Amino acid sequence: MPLTRDRITEAALRLMDAEGLEAVSMRRIAREVGVEAMSLYNHVEDKDDLLNAVIERVMQEFPFPEAVDDDPIVYGRRLAHCWRNLLRAHPSVIQLFGERKHSGASVDSLRPMDEALSALRRAGLSESDAAQAFHTIGSFIFGTVMMETGQPFGNGEHARAFPTGIEAELPNVAACASFLAECDLDAQFEFGLDLMLEGLRAKIEVA
Amino acid sequence: MPLTRDRITEAALRLMDAEGLEAVSMRRIAREVGVEAMSLYNHVEDKDDLLNAVIERVMQEFPFPEAVDDDPIVYGRRLAHCWRNLLRAHPSVIQLFGERKHSGASVDSLRPMDEALSALRRAGLSESDAAQAFHTIGSFIFGTVMMETGQPFGNGEHARAFPTGIEAELPNVAACASFLAECDLDAQFEFGLDLMLEGLRAKIEVA
DNA sequence: AGGATAGGCGTACGGCGTAAGTGTGTCAAC
DNA sequence: GTTGACACACTTACGCCGTACGCCTATCCT
């Protein structure tokens, strides 16, 4: 089996899904495909190039919904779920987005973006508002998935160990602690999505 | 001037603000404070410990607004801006949040969170809804700042070079391209914040 | 005075990305 | 059938990284 750019990209993705981004080194990828590290450079310019290829690959497997002939807001909600699922399937790509410019986006990797913009415009938004709404919802999706997977604030095994003696100093954190720690991630996502889509509907009705 | 944990933490933060997270190495921090790398370990357990201390320090300088006696939604909006400003001032901490668990949160670092939850509850949200809204808005803020600083989709020097021949394949991206690329980041943030806060107001009125 | 302790320093190990050079197997042209 | 070119894997080596381990000295308590 010959070594190819695709085999390398796939191995890198598999590795980072399984063991996290910090496990991804050229030497380790090489071992994974049964080769020495420097051989990778015959198919890849550098590690950066490889990681961009990984992003590209992930974007290409974007799981589009089958049906399109819907209320555009409903379809937009479906697209949002697709984004979330994709990112949850490959949590490390979020870190990649955070660290790199991802300057070389291909047509294929922009197709999901086009689809989302299309839905927003069909819903009645101007080009400018569609762009803003896309950014907003996109940021929200990235942020939630990042929080789900990195858990900056809560959601350890079952309940986060907040520092003791909290009730006096942080009454609101204490009161909401159980909801912050044990919240259902799907419900959480739905809550935020509703907030934004309702806001959008209101904005459209005004116009 | 004796070497202390604080001096080390400060140097690390200064370094990562100035040159990015990848420039932060134990050897480099040591050089920065005029010491050999291994001396740092007298004050810091490990690099992880140090980075957590940096996060902690950033949280402690949270720039609370002066006035509190407002419409809670207005106050919430102000808090959101404070969060954004803090994260924009130290963009690398977002990467830190993406990579680590940040398991040891102190009381001080949770105070901004308490303040936000307090505003949401005063606005009339249940404890559960306040927790959800906090997560939603927090995710949005993290996401926007991440996109602003990492620019995964656009906003290069002036306009991103989308692949050529886009109009046919990606009509919506093409149509919105100028708005995606040149958008005013502040206006963008306001747009999203409005969307969510309007959604919240609607939710509160129903109850 | 003497011993403990704190807090510096030096060395060393295994891993990293990758520049540069070495070998080998395939295949076209003669 | 020989030769040359080329693709592609391998080897070596450099300067980084985090940090285990041990040494050295200055300070302070008794």
Distance from CA of A25 to the nearest CA of B (A): 15
Beta carbon pairs, A and B, within 8 Å: 244
How many angstroms is C1' of D1 away from CA of A2? 29
> Is A139–B136 a contact, with Cβ atoms under 8 angstroms apart?
no
Cα A144-A146-A149 angle, rounded to 5 deg? 105
Q: For position A151, what pLDDT does the model report? A: 55
Nucleotides of strand C lying closer than 7 angstroms to a protein CB: 6-11, 15-21
What is residue B184's three-state secondary structure?
coil
* CB B2 within 7 Å, strand C: yes
In chain A, the residue whose alpha carbon lies closest to the alpha carbon of B194 is: A199
What are the pLDDT digits (tens) for B170-202? 999 999 988 887 778 999 999 999 999 999 988
> Is A139–B140 a contact, with Cβ atoms under 8 angstroms apart?
yes
Residue A162, pLDDT above cutoff 80 = no
A164 near B CB under 8 A: no
> Is B150–A203 a contact, with Cβ atoms under 8 angstroms apart?
no
Q: How many C-beta neighbours within 10 Å does residue A70 have?
A: 14
Which residues lie below 8 Å from residue A91, measured CB to CB, with a gap of 6+? A17, A145, A149
> Is B131–A183 a contact, with Cβ atoms under 8 angstroms apart?
yes
Q: How many whole angstroms separate alpha carbon A183 and alpha carbon A155?
A: 8
What are the pLDDT digits (tens) for B81-119? 999 999 999 999 998 988 887 766 788 889 999 999 999
DSSP A163: P
Going by C-alpha positions, the residue among A64, A107, A66, A104 that lies closest to residue A86 is A64
In chain B, the residue whose alpha carbon lies closest to the alpha carbon of A133 is: B192
Nearest CB neighbour to B170, from listed A107, A153, A200: A107
Q: Flag the least confident range among A66-75, A98-107, A137-146, B110-119.
A: A98-107
What is the pTM assigned to this prediction?
A: 0.91
Contacts of B166 in chain A (CB under 8 A): 107, 110
What are the pLDDT digits (tens) for A93-128? 988 988 887 766 788 889 999 999 999 999 999 999
What are the pLDDT digits (tens) for A179-207? 888 778 999 999 999 999 999 998 898 76
More confident residue, B150 or A186: A186
Q: How many whole angstroms separate alpha carbon A59 and alpha carbon A82?
A: 11
Contacts of A200 in chain B (CB under 8 A): 195
What is residue A174's three-state secondary structure?
helix
* CB A42 within 7 Å, strand D: yes
- Distance between alpha carbon B173 and the CA centroid of its chain, in Å? 27
Nearest CB neighbour to B95, from listed A99, A139, A144: A99
Q: How many residues does chain A have?
A: 207
Q: What is the mean pLDDT of residues B59-81?
A: 90
Residues 57-76 on B with a CB inside 8 Å of A are none
B194 near A CB under 8 A: yes
* CB A43 within 7 Å, strand D: yes
> Is A192–B153 a contact, with Cβ atoms under 8 angstroms apart?
no
More confident residue, A161 or B139: B139
How many angstroms is C1' of C3 away from CA of B46? 31
Q: Is B42 exposed, middle or buried (0-12, 13-18, 19+ CB in 10 A)?
A: exposed
Q: How many whole angstroms separate alpha carbon B133 and alpha carbon B117?
A: 9
User: Quick check: A80 and A112 in contact, CB under 8 A?
Assistant: no
Nearest CB neighbour to B179, from listed A131, A199, A203: A131
Which residues lie below 8 Å from residue A168, measured CB to CB, with a gap of 6+? none
> Is B132–A191 a contact, with Cβ atoms under 8 angstroms apart?
yes
Question: Nearest nt to B27, CA vs C1'?
Answer: D17
